[in-house]
């Protein structure tokens, strides 16, 4: 997670922000609550966490997602346009009929933007999990069949396609909301660092494919972080915070629900605890606590 600047850096940090033409949260909130817009995919939307926001059922947006938690704890005025299944392209185009492009929610009056995006580009998450889960079942959890078959395919897609799309999407966010602070959250760990034999029934991954899948996620988070920093956004690093809270852990500890025998209606997504913790990490990274 980004570290807070100490007092010796405060003046230069503020000067840098002002030079960029950005607005600090304190300045933005001096005349009232922060104007906060939440963008992003299902990890932002909290897809699978009940209750569902009835305003757009296609997006499977939860009223307990991390944007709602953040807004509740900071008193921000929230406009939530997160949508399950969103890709970077859906920032600029309608994801569903009647669903406006997410960028339409932004303006020069926006003070704060949060988002999680990139995992659906190229079908990275779903394709990797399905491919590795299927291979794990067929081999009884032995070896690294998914890695052996797919090699660097997913990593190549992230580097060659997702990263440029992230850069463009975050550049568009900055252009539409020039006065806002932008926080881009990474994805919390789905799998542990090494295989847990007790987890195969919930996450049917071969022993050698557990670190392979985690490596793909680490690469995606690295791409998200690079794009965020290049566009002057705060990257909310969830790697350390979500360690030990992956889908293999028990209820009450895990932030992410497993493929099988989970508690959410959408598997391999954050549960309510995960959404709360994501909100807390964003609040801390932005200095809003």
Write out the catalytic residue numbers.
42, 269
Helix or strand holding residue 273 (H, E): helix 272-286
Structure-block tokens of residue 56: 């757009």
Which distant-in-sequence residues (6+ apart) come within 8 Å of 75 by Cβ? 33, 34
Structure-block tokens of residue 145: 């069949």
Helix or strand holding residue 67 (H, E): helix 66-74
CA distance 286 to 25: 8
Phi-psi region of 272 (alpha: psi -120 to 50; beta: other; left: phi over 0): alpha
CA distance 179 to 109: 7
Are 84 and 100 contacting, i.e. CB atoms less than 8 angstroms apart? no
> Per the omega criterion (within 30 degrees of 0), is the bond before 152 cis?
no
């Amino acid at each position: 997670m980004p570290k807070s600047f100490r007092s010796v850096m405060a003046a230069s940090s503020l000067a840098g922000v002002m030079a960029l033409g950005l607005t600090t949260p304190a300045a933005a909130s001096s005349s009232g609550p922060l104007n906060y817009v939440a963008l992003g995919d299902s990890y932002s939307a909290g897809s699978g966490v009940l209750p569902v926001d009835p305003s757009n059922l296609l997006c499977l947006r939860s009223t307990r997602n991390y944007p709602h938690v953040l807004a509740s704890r900071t008193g921000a005025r929230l406009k939530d346009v997160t949508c399950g299944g969103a890709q970077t392209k859906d920032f600029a185009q309608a994801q569903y009929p009647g669903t406006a492009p997410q960028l339409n929610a932004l303006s020069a009056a926006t003070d704060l933007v949060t988002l999680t995006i990139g995992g659906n580009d190229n079908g990275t998450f779903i394709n990797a999990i399905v491919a590795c889960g299927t291979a794990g079942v067929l081999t009884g959890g032995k070896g690294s069949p998914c890695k052996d078959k797919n090699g660097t395919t997913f990593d190549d897609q992230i580097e060659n396609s997702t990263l440029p799309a992230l850069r463009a999407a975050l550049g568009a966010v900055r252009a539409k909301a020039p006065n806002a602070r932008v926080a881009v959250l990474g994805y919390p760990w789905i799998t542990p660092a090494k295989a847990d034999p007790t987890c195969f029934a919930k996450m049917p991954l071969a022993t050698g494919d557990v670190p392979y899948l985690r490596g793909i996620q680490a690469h995606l988070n690295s791409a998200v972080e690079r794009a965020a920093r290049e566009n002057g956004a705060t990257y909310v690093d969830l790697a350390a915070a979500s360690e030990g809270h992956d889908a293999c852990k028990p209820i009450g500890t895990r932030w992410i629900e497993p493929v099988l025998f989970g508690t959410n209606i959408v598997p391999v997504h954050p549960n309510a605890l995960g959404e709360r913790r994501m909100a807390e990490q964003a609040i801390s990274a932005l200095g809003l606590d």
